[in-house]
Chains A and B, each alone.
Chain A
C-alpha cells in the first residue's frame, strides 16, 4: 500500500517524517476534496432533475388550462342551448294558456247556445296548439321523433319540459359527438402538475441537505487533527448518503 509521508499540520514538520498521532495525511485531504466534488456534482444532478421534471409540470399546466377552456366552452354551449329551449318552451306554454282560455270561451259560448261561435273558438284553440307544438319542435324544445304523433294531433295539455333531463341529454350528445374531445380532465392535469412541483421542491431540498455535507466535508478538510477530521468526514458522508438515498427513494424517480 502506498504510504503518504507528507503532513499538513501546524504541529508537524514537512520533511517526510512520520505524521504525528493527531496529524492529517495529504491523501485524506485529497479524499475529502473528492467527496466535496462528489457532493457538489450530486447536488447539481438533483437540481438538473428538478429542472427536467419542472418542464413537464409546465406542460401539464397548459393542458389543464386548455381542457378547462374546452370544458367551460361545452358548459356555456349547453346553457345557451337550454336557454333557447326554455325561451321557446315559455312561448309554447303561453300559447297553450291562450288555447285553454279559448276552450273555456268556447264552453261558455256553447252553454249559451252559440255553437257556431264556440266552434270558432275551439278551432282557434286547436290551431294555436298545433302551431305551438310545431314551432317548439322546430326550435328543438321537443325532438320530432320524441313527440311523434303530437305533431299531427297536439295534446290538450302542454308537454312537460325537464330542464335537468335536457342538460343531461346535451352532455351526452356533446361527449359522444364525432368531434368530441373525449373525456376531459383539467383537474387531473392540474393535480399532476402540483405533484411534479412537490417533487421539484423535494429535489431542491435534498440538494440543500447535500450542501450541509459539503459544509461538514469542508470542516473536515480544514481540521488539523485526524480524529476531528474523521468525525466531520463521517458526519458528512452520513448526511450525503441519507440525502442521496432519501432523494432517490422519494423524488428522483417518479
Chain B
C-alpha cells in the first residue's frame, strides 16, 4: 500500500483536487448566480419595504396633525354655535325689557298717553337688529373646516393603516426570502444530492416570494381625493343646516369623485332620508317609509356598510329605523342588534329595538330593552337629549299601536312607564304611580289652527303636589301614525284648582291633520283628548 499523496496546492493555498471537483460541478456556478439574483430580489423588496415604512410614517404624522386640526375646528365651531344660541337668547329676551315689553306698564301709559299702534313693535325691531351676521361670519367656514378635517383624518387613518400593513407584509416576505437565501447559500458548501435538494428548495421558496411580493405590490392603497372630502364636508354642513337636498347634491359630488367613499354614502343616506321625511328632526314624524327616496337611502346605507366592513352605527341604525317604520319588525330587530354590537352604549338603538320587540309580541324582551336604555341614562340630568329620547320612544310606540292594533294595550303600558319615568326624572321626585284620590283634570279647546297648537288644561280639587305630565301628539298624515314632537311636553307640579293655557307656534312641512293630548297625574294616565288639525299638506 502506498501512502496517500498529499494534494498539491497552488500559490493561493487552494487544494487543486478540490478545485477540480468544485469546478466540475456545473450546478455550483448556477447556485452562485441564483444567490446574486436572490440578493437583487431582496434589494427590490427592501426598497418597497422602505417606501411603505416612509409612507406609513408620513401618513401617521399627517393623521395626527389633521386630528389636532379637526379637534381645534370642532372646539371653535362649538364655541361659535354657543355664541349663536346666546345671540338668539338675547334677541328673544329684548321683548321682555322695558320699554319694549308690550305686556308691562309703561311710563307713557302712566302719563295717560296712548301710543300709536305699532310703535312698540318698531322699537323692538330696531333693538333686535343685532350684528349676528358679522359676529358669526366665521361660523360657516369653520363648520366646513371641522367637517373637512374630520373626514380627512378618517381617510388618512385608513391610508396609514394600509401602509403599516404593507410594510409589515414586505418585512415578512423578506424574512421568508432570507430562508431561501440560506438554503441556496447552503447549496454552495454542501455537495452531492444534498446540494440539489437545498438548492431546489431555496429556488422554490425564492420563486414563491417573488409571486407573493408581486401580489402585495399590486394591492391598492386606499386614498380619498381631497375634492371628495370637501364635497362630503359640504354635504354634512348643508344637512346639519336643514338643506337636505343641497346635502344630497354635495354627497353626489363626493361619490362621483370617489365611488368607494363609505362616509359619503352614509351621509347621503341620512340626507335622503331627511329630505323624504323633512319633519323628522323636529317631530320624529316618519312620513315616507316606502317612497323612492327612502329606498335610495336604504341602498346608500347598505353600500356604506358594505364598504366600511359593517362598522357604521349610523348606517345600521338608519336601516333599523326604516325597517321599523315599514313594519318589518324582524329586520328592525336584526339591524338594531347589529348597531348594538358596534356600540351597546347608545340608548336610542335600545329604544328602537324595544318598540320592534313589542310589535313582535315579545313583551318581556321589549321591557328588558327599555330597562337597558333607561340604565344607560342613569346619572344624567333632564335635558333636551333625554326629552328627545323619550319623544322618539313614544313616537315608536304610537306607530306600533297604529300599525298593530292588537299590540296597542301593551304600547300604552310602556308609554305610561316612560312618561312616569320622565315626569319623576324631570320633577326630581318619586311618583305614586296611581291617580290622586280626589280631583279631576280636563283638556279644552285642543286644536291646531293658523300654525299654532293651542289647548287649555284645567284642574279642580287635586291634592297639593300632584305631578302633571302632559304629552302632545300630532298626526302629520290623515289617519296615519301619531308622532310625539320633543318640544310638546309639559311637566309640572300642580294642586287645588287651576288652569294653564298653552299656545305654541308649530312650523311643519307636514302640518298636523289632528292633535292629541295625553295627560298623566302622578305617573298614571288620566285622560287622552283628540283635537282637529288642518288638511293634510303631505
Instruction: Rank and list the top 7 A-B pairs by shortest CB-CB distance, nearest first.
Output: A97-B127, A222-B29, A72-B72, A218-B36, A211-B43, A208-B43, A6-B10
Residue from A80, A91, A98, A194 within 8 A of B127 (CB atoms): A98
Which of B61-69, B311-319, B530-538 is found at the contact surface with chain A? Answer: B61-69
Instruction: Report whether over half of chain A's contact residues are helix, strand or loop; otherwise say mixed.
Output: helix
Q: In this assembly, does A248 line the interface, its C-beta being within 8 Å of a C-beta of chain B?
A: no
CB distance from B281 to the nearest CB of A (A): 25
Q: In this assembly, does B19 line the interface, its C-beta being within 8 Å of a C-beta of chain A?
A: yes
Please give, as numbers and ranges, the residues of chain A lying within 8 Å of B100 by CB-CB distance.
98, 101
Q: How far is the CA of A115 from the CA of B28 in the complex (A)?
A: 121
Inter-subunit contact B64/A214 (CB<8 Å): no
Please give, as numbers and ranges, the residues of chain A lying within 8 Å of B119 by CB-CB distance.
108
CB distance from A143 to the nearest CB of B (A): 18
Q: How far is the CA of A193 from the CA of B64 in the complex (A)?
A: 15
Please give, as numbers and ranges, the residues of chain B lying within 8 Å of A147 by CB-CB distance.
none
Which of A8-16, A148-156, A170-178 is found at the contact surface with chain B? Answer: A8-16
Please give, as numbers and ranges, the residues of chain A lying within 8 Å of B123 by CB-CB distance.
100-101, 104-105
Please give, as numbers and ranges, the residues of chain A lying within 8 Å of B46 by CB-CB distance.
47, 204, 207-208
Inter-subunit contact B68/A105 (CB<8 Å): no
- Measured as residues with beta carbon below 8 angstroms from the partner, the interface class of chain B is 35 or more
Q: In this assembly, does B94 line the interface, its C-beta being within 8 Å of a C-beta of chain A?
A: yes
Residue contacts A-B, CB under 8 angstroms, 18 given:
A6-B11, A64-B65, A65-B64, A72-B68, A76-B76, A87-B83, A90-B90, A90-B131, A90-B135, A98-B97, A105-B108, A109-B113, A161-B135, A193-B57, A201-B47, A207-B43, A208-B47, A221-B32
Inter-subunit contact B130/A114 (CB<8 Å): no
Please give, as numbers and ranges, the residues of chain B lying within 8 Å of A194 by CB-CB distance.
58
Residue from B64, B111, B138 within 8 A of A109 (CB atoms): B111
Chain B 27-58 per-residue mask, 1 if CB under 8 angstroms from chain A, else 0: 01100110111011011101100110010011
Q: How far is the CA of A215 from the CA of B14 in the complex (A)?
A: 24
Inter-subunit contact A204/B47 (CB<8 Å): yes
Inter-subunit contact A14/B20 (CB<8 Å): yes
CB distance from B461 to the nearest CB of A (A): 44
Inter-subunit contact A190/B62 (CB<8 Å): yes
CB distance from A51 to the nearest CB of B (A): 10
Whether A222 contacts B32 in the complex (CB less than 8 A), given A86-B135, A208-B44, comes out as yes
Max count, chain B CB within 10 A of own CB: residue among A75, A79, A161, A210: A79
Please give, as numbers and ranges, the residues of chain A lying within 8 Å of B299 by CB-CB distance.
none
Q: How far is the CA of A211 from the CA of B106 in the complex (A)?
A: 96
Inter-subunit contact A193/B90 (CB<8 Å): no
Inter-subunit contact B33/A65 (CB<8 Å): no
Q: In this assembly, does A135 line the interface, its C-beta being within 8 Å of a C-beta of chain B?
A: no
Q: In this assembly, does A139 line the interface, its C-beta being within 8 Å of a C-beta of chain B?
A: no
Whether A68 contacts B130 in the complex (CB less than 8 A), given A211-B43, A212-B40, comes out as no
Q: In this assembly, does A45 line the interface, its C-beta being within 8 Å of a C-beta of chain B?
A: no
Inter-subunit contact A64/B39 (CB<8 Å): no
Additional 11 contacts, C-beta under 8 A, given A6-B10, A120-B107: A26-B11, A43-B43, A68-B69, A80-B79, A87-B87, A94-B94, A97-B128, A112-B108, A112-B113, A211-B42, A215-B36
Closest Cβ neighbor of B87 among chain A residues: A90
Inter-subunit contact A90/B111 (CB<8 Å): no
Inter-subunit contact A163/B61 (CB<8 Å): no
Closest Cβ neighbor of A2 among chain B residues: B11
Closest Cβ neighbor of B123 among chain A residues: A101
Please give, as numbers and ranges, the residues of chain A lying within 8 Å of B64 by CB-CB distance.
65, 68
Residue from B47, B58, B110 within 8 A of A197 (CB atoms): B58
Q: How far is the CA of A183 from the CA of B54 in the complex (A)?
A: 28
Q: How far is the CA of A114 from the CA of B113 in the complex (A)?
A: 9
Q: How far is the CA of A217 from the CA of B37 in the complex (A)?
A: 11
Inter-subunit contact A79/B79 (CB<8 Å): yes
Inter-subunit contact A219/B43 (CB<8 Å): no
Q: How far is the CA of A50 from the CA of B49 in the complex (A)?
A: 13
Please give, as numbers and ranges, the residues of chain B lying within 8 Å of A226 by CB-CB distance.
none
Q: In this assembly, does A200 line the interface, its C-beta being within 8 Å of a C-beta of chain B?
A: yes
Q: In this assembly, does A38 line the interface, its C-beta being within 8 Å of a C-beta of chain B?
A: no
Chain A 219-244 per-residue mask, 1 if CB under 8 angstroms from chain B, else 0: 10110000000000000000000000
Q: In this assembly, does A22 line the interface, its C-beta being within 8 Å of a C-beta of chain B?
A: no
Q: In this assembly, does B378 line the interface, its C-beta being within 8 Å of a C-beta of chain A?
A: no
- Measured as residues with beta carbon below 8 angstroms from the partner, the interface class of chain A is 35 or more
Closest Cβ neighbor of A216 among chain B residues: B36
Whether A101 contacts B99 in the complex (CB less than 8 A), given A61-B61, A80-B79, A163-B137, comes out as yes
Closest Cβ neighbor of A221 among chain B residues: B32
Q: In this assembly, does B86 line the interface, its C-beta being within 8 Å of a C-beta of chain A?
A: yes
Residue from A58, A83, A121 within 8 A of B107 (CB atoms): A121
Inter-subunit contact A205/B47 (CB<8 Å): yes
CB distance from B72 to the nearest CB of A (A): 4
Inter-subunit contact A83/B19 (CB<8 Å): no
Please give, as numbers and ranges, the residues of chain B lying within 8 Å of A68 by CB-CB distance.
64-65, 68-69
CB distance from A116 to the nearest CB of B (A): 9
Closest Cβ neighbor of A62 among chain B residues: B61
Q: How far is the CA of A211 from the CA of B46 in the complex (A)?
A: 11
CB distance from B102 to the nearest CB of A (A): 12
Closest Cβ neighbor of A40 among chain B residues: B39
Chain A 60-94 per-residue mask, 1 if CB under 8 angstroms from chain B, else 0: 01001100110011011001100100110111011
Inter-subunit contact B107/A214 (CB<8 Å): no
Inter-subunit contact B24/A26 (CB<8 Å): no
Q: In this assembly, does A185 line the interface, its C-beta being within 8 Å of a C-beta of chain B?
A: no
Q: In this assembly, does A34 line the interface, its C-beta being within 8 Å of a C-beta of chain B?
A: no
Please give, as numbers and ranges, the residues of chain B lying within 8 Å of A76 by CB-CB distance.
72, 75-76
Closest Cβ neighbor of A12 among chain B residues: B23
Please give, as numbers and ranges, the residues of chain A lying within 8 Å of B33 by CB-CB distance.
215, 218-219, 222
Whether A4 contacts B11 in the complex (CB less than 8 A), given A61-B57, A102-B99, comes out as yes
Residue from B23, B32, B76, B111 within 8 A of A9 (CB atoms): B23
Inter-subunit contact A218/B32 (CB<8 Å): yes
Q: In this assembly, does B71 line the interface, its C-beta being within 8 Å of a C-beta of chain A?
A: yes
Q: In this assembly, does B16 line the interface, its C-beta being within 8 Å of a C-beta of chain A?
A: yes
Q: In this assembly, does B126 line the interface, its C-beta being within 8 Å of a C-beta of chain A?
A: yes
Q: How far is the CA of A190 from the CA of B135 in the complex (A)?
A: 34
Inter-subunit contact B24/A75 (CB<8 Å): no
Please give, as numbers and ranges, the residues of chain B lying within 8 Å of A65 by CB-CB distance.
61, 64-65, 68
Chain B 75-108 per-residue mask, 1 if CB under 8 angstroms from chain A, else 0: 1100110110011001101100111100000111
Q: How far is the CA of A83 from the CA of B72 in the complex (A)?
A: 14
Closest Cβ neighbor of A223 among chain B residues: B29
Please give, as numbers and ranges, the residues of chain A lying within 8 Å of B68 by CB-CB distance.
65, 68-69, 72
Q: In this assembly, does A30 line the interface, its C-beta being within 8 Å of a C-beta of chain B?
A: yes
Please give, as numbers and ranges, the residues of chain A lying within 8 Å of B83 by CB-CB distance.
83, 86-87, 90
Q: In this assembly, does A52 line the interface, its C-beta being within 8 Å of a C-beta of chain B?
A: no
Q: How far is the CA of A215 from the CA of B34 in the complex (A)?
A: 9
Closest Cβ neighbor of B37 among chain A residues: A215
Closest Cβ neighbor of A186 among chain B residues: B65
